[in-house]
Structure 1
C-alpha cells in the first residue's frame, strides 16, 4: 500500500513538473520556492552549528561536574572550533530586532518553536488551513504558513532562541585558558555564563479575524 501511494505521489509530481515547465508564471513560482528552500537550508546550517556549539558547552560543564576534565577540554575545544568557523556567513542570519540589541553583539538563531494559540478550537476550515500550512512548511515557506493560519483565524506563537555570537566566543576562549591552567571551577562558571547568555525572543502572530 505504501509503495502504491509513493508511486502515485511520484507520478503526480512528475505531471506537475511538466505543467510548470510549460508556463512562465509557474516557472517563476518554482524559482521563488527554490530560493525560499535555499534560504531555509542556509538558516538551518547556521542554527545547527550554533546549537552544536552550545551543546558542547553544556556537555563540557557536565564533564567537569563528573570530574572528567579531559573530556571537558575536548568539548570546549570543539565548541570553539564551531564558533570560529569562518566558512559560515554568520552575519547573514543574525537577528536584529530590539531584544537582540541588548548588548553590542550578533544574535544568531540556534533553535525555535512554533505553537498554535491556546484558544485554538478545531473546525473543518482551520484543519484545512493547518494542512495547507504544513505544505508550505515542507517547502521552507514559514512566513506563508503563518499567514495561512492567521487568515484562517488561528493565532501562532513563535519562540526563537538567540545566541550572542561574540559573547559566546569570548566565554569559550576564556574557558579554554582556564581549563589549560587547571582552573576547573572557574571554567565551569564561565561556560555557564555562555549558557545563560541565550535569549528567548517570543512573538505572537495574532489571528486576522
Structure 2
C-alpha cells in the first residue's frame, strides 16, 4: 500500500544498519563510542530530513498548481531537486536493502518512521513496567534496547518505515522541473503525483522470539 507522507518527521533510528555502541572497558573508549553513535545517528537524521523535505516540497508544488500559482510550484520543485542532489554514495549509507516492494535498480531511503505497540496490547503491571523501562532507554537514544525490552516482555511492536525510491524521485523532480519551465503545468502535476505515489510503506511486527 502506498501513502502520501503528511506527518512530521519522526526519528528514523530504524535503518537497516545498526549504530548502537557495544560495551567498552575504559572511559575514553566509552566516550569515543558514544560520539560515534551520536554522529551516525545525526547522519541518519540528516539524510531522512533531506528526503522528507524534498517530498514535502513535491506535495506543496502540486498544491501550488492546484491553486493556480505556477511560480511557487517552480520554486518548490527546484528546492526538491536541490535537496535530492548530491553524491549517491552519501545516500547509499542509509539505504534500506530489504524493502518488501522494490523497483528494479533503485535505492530506498528511509525518510519517515514510526514505532507503536501492537493493536492487541493489553496492559498488565509487568508490561507497564517494561514500557517504562523502554521509555527510559528511548530517552537515552537506545531505540534498539527499547524495542528489545518490549519484546522480552511479550509486547508486540509495530515498526513502520516510509521508503523513498531515490533514483525514481530524482528523475521525476527533474522532469517536472523541465515541464514547469515549459509551461506544461498539468503534465508536471502528473509527474509529481507519480513521485508521491512512489513512496513505499514497509511495516513489520516484532514479537518475542523474533
- Equivalent position of 2:93 in the other structure: 92
- Equivalent position of 2:40 in the other structure: 39
Matches within 5 A, 1:9-24: 24=25
TM-score between the two structures when normalised by the length of structure 1: 0.82
Counterparts of 1:80 and 1:117, CA distance in 2: 37
1:92 positional shift? 0.4
Matched, 1:145 2:146: yes
- Equivalent position of 1:183 in the other structure: 184
Structure number with the bigger relative contact order (C-alpha 8 A, sep ≥ 6) is: 2
- Structure 1 runs not aligned, ≥5 long: 1-22
Counterparts of 1:95 and 1:82, CA distance in 2: 19
Counterparts of 1:25 and 1:153, CA distance in 2: 34
CA separation of 1:45/1:88 partners in 2, compared to 1, >3 Å: closer, same or farther?
farther
TM-score between the two structures when normalised by the length of structure 2: 0.82
Show structure 1 runs of 4+ deviating over 6 A: none
Query: Which protein is bigger by CA-based radius of gyration?
Result: 1
More displaced 10-residue stretch of structure 1: 165-174 or 77-86 = 77-86
CA separation of 1:36/1:152 partners in 2, compared to 1, >3 Å: closer, same or farther?
farther
Counterparts of 1:129 and 1:181, CA distance in 2: 58
- Equivalent position of 1:67 in the other structure: 68
- Which protein is richer in helix relative to its size? 1
CA separation of 1:144/1:30 partners in 2, compared to 1, >3 Å: closer, same or farther?
farther
- Equivalent position of 1:12 in the other structure: none
CA separation of 1:148/1:30 partners in 2, compared to 1, >3 Å: closer, same or farther?
farther
SS in 1 for 2:100: helix
- Equivalent position of 1:7 in the other structure: none
- Does the CA-based 8 Å contact 2:99-2:108 persist in structure 1? no
Matched, 1:206 2:207: yes
More displaced 10-residue stretch of structure 1: 196-205 or 82-91 = 82-91
- Equivalent position of 2:80 in the other structure: 79
Counterparts of 1:53 and 1:140, CA distance in 2: 26
CA separation of 1:113/1:153 partners in 2, compared to 1, >3 Å: closer, same or farther?
same
More displaced 10-residue stretch of structure 1: 154-163 or 34-43 = 34-43
Aligned residues: 187
